[in-house]
């Protein structure tokens, strides 16, 4: 039995980097499942696994492939709700040191709801997040003011934020320094420039990129599969397909406020210990919103997640 790390997932096949840097295509053992995770993909990029070599014959040609027989304990993972099977999750990547959410004010628009769902999920799965505000060279004065307002809001909450442009090279050195020596995952909508940033930071990868739709100002999918790349300056980067929506999974309603740091801070002052911050009297969170100490967009995101939780909760 050999040890390896999954560096690419195409759905049915997994590319594994094994001992002595051997790279081999692997399948998953037929009855292999991850305990307690209802997922569309039992194995994810970043997983440390055990595999054995097998001979595969096709049209009289024999080639060596691998069979994944076990997955080692994950330190963490990041998920989204499966698009077609809402009760199941899709694991985007595993064993991550930090995540970078690439955000654009326009071309395409990234909403605060999308940002907040990603941030809450990352807190839940113990993954530090940096917000990367990209395409700063493209914005007019109003869009730049909107960017600064968003950046200031999230920095005040406690998140690191970096402004970047692959045209002017703004922020790329700072981003590269933050990634050094770590396993990093890039997420964001299609068209926000994830692959373009990665190409600038790690020349030679030649990841596919496309301009966004000028008419709809929305992104086109260029990264089709999740894949991990080694960085010349130390560490790894995981490039993921763009995602349109982000769902929370396996959370109780009372937990959700814990993943919004500023809401959690004020919740200790609420009249009721189990306050949902929706209708109860003596709610310190609602009072903080009224005073402007919690941004309205954040409480709207929190309430949206509560509603999502109700919709996907199994019947009693």
* For residues 109-130, average pLDDT: 93
Q: Is 103 helix (H, G, I), strand (E, B) or coil?
A: strand
**pLDDT reading at 85 higher than 50:** no
273 shares a domain with 225: no
Look at residue 224 and tell me if it is in a domain: yes
**Residue of higher predicted confidence among 277 and 64:** 277
Look at residue 244 and tell me if it is in a domain: no
Q: What is the CA radius of gyration of the chain?
A: 21
The per-residue pLDDT for 314 is 46
279 shares a domain with 140: no
Look at residue 247 and tell me if it is in a domain: no
Residue 51 pLDDT grade (very low, low, confident, very high; cuts 50, 70, 90): very high
* For residues 277-306, average pLDDT: 96
CB-count burial class (<10 Å; 0-12, 13-18, 19+) for 68: buried
Among 197, 213, 239, where does a domain finish? 239
40 shares a domain with 179: no
Residue 86 pLDDT grade (very low, low, confident, very high; cuts 50, 70, 90): low
Residue 253 pLDDT grade (very low, low, confident, very high; cuts 50, 70, 90): confident
282 shares a domain with 188: no
- Calculate the dihedral angle through the C-alpha atoms of 230, 81, 77, 171, rounding to the nearest 10 degrees: 50
Among 210, 239, 268, where does a domain finish? 239
Number of structural domains (the chain) is 3
Domain containing residue 56: CATH number: 2.40.50.140
Q: What is the largest CA-CA distance in the chain?
A: 75
291 shares a domain with 152: no
Predicted model pTM: 0.86
Among 34, 54, 71, where does a domain finish? 71
- Calculate the dihedral angle through the C-alpha atoms of 123, 193, 155, 151, rounding to the nearest 10 degrees: -140
* For residues 7-14, average pLDDT: 87
106 shares a domain with 15: no
- How far apart are alpha carbons 106 and 128 in whole angstroms? 25
203 shares a domain with 159: yes
Look at residue 248 and tell me if it is in a domain: no
Q: Is 40 helix (H, G, I), strand (E, B) or coil?
A: coil
The per-residue pLDDT for 59 is 64
**pLDDT reading at 306 higher than 60:** yes
Look at residue 120 and tell me if it is in a domain: yes
132 shares a domain with 233: yes
168 shares a domain with 195: yes
What are the residue ranges of helices labelled H in the chain?
112-124, 141-157, 172-179, 194-201, 253-256, 261-267, 284-291, 296-312
147 shares a domain with 81: yes
Range of the domain at 12: 2-71
CB-count burial class (<10 Å; 0-12, 13-18, 19+) for 168: exposed
229 shares a domain with 174: yes
- How far apart are alpha carbons 86 and 17 in whole angstroms? 32
pLDDT in tens, 255-285: 899 999 999 999 999 999 999 999 999 999 9
């Amino acid at each position: 039995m050999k040890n390896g790390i999954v560096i690419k997932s195409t759905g049915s096949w997994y590319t594994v980097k094994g001992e002595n840097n051997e790279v081999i295509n692997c399948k998953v053992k037929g009855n292999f499942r991850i305990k307690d995770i209802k997922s569309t993909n039992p194995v994810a990029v970043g997983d440390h696994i055990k595999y054995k070599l097998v001979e595969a014959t096709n049209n009289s040609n024999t080639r060596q492939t691998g069979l994944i027989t076990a997955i080692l304990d994950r330190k963490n993972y990041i998920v989204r709700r499966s698009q077609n099977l809402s009760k199941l999750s899709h694991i985007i990547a595993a064993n991550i040191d930090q995540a970078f959410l690439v955000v654009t004010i326009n071309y395409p628009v990234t909403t605060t709801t999308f940002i907040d769902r990603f941030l809450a999920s990352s807190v839940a799965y113990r993954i530090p997040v940096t917000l990367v505000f990209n395409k700063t060279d493209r914005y007019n004065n109003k869009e730049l003011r909107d960017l600064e307002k968003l950046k200031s809001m999230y920095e005040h909450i406690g998140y690191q934020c970096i402004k970047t442009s692959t045209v002017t090279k703004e922020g790329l050195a700072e981003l590269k320094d933050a990634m050094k020596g770590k396993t990093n995952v890039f997420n964001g909508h299609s068209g926000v420039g994830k692959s373009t940033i990665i190409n600038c930071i790690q020349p030679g990868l030649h990841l596919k990129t496309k301009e966004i739709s000028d008419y709809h100002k929305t992104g086109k999918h260029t990264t089709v599969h999740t894949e991990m790349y080694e960085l010349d300056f130390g560490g790894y980067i995981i490039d993921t397909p763009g995602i349109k929506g982000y769902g929370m999974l396996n959370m109780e309603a009372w937990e959700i406020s814990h993943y919004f740091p500023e809401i959690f801070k004020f919740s200790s002052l609420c009249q009721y210990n189990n306050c949902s911050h929706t209708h109860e009297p003596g709610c310190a969170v609602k009072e903080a919103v009224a005073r402007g100490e919690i941004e309205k967009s954040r409480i709207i995101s929190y309430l949206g997640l509560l509603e999502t939780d109700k919709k996907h909760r199994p019947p009693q």
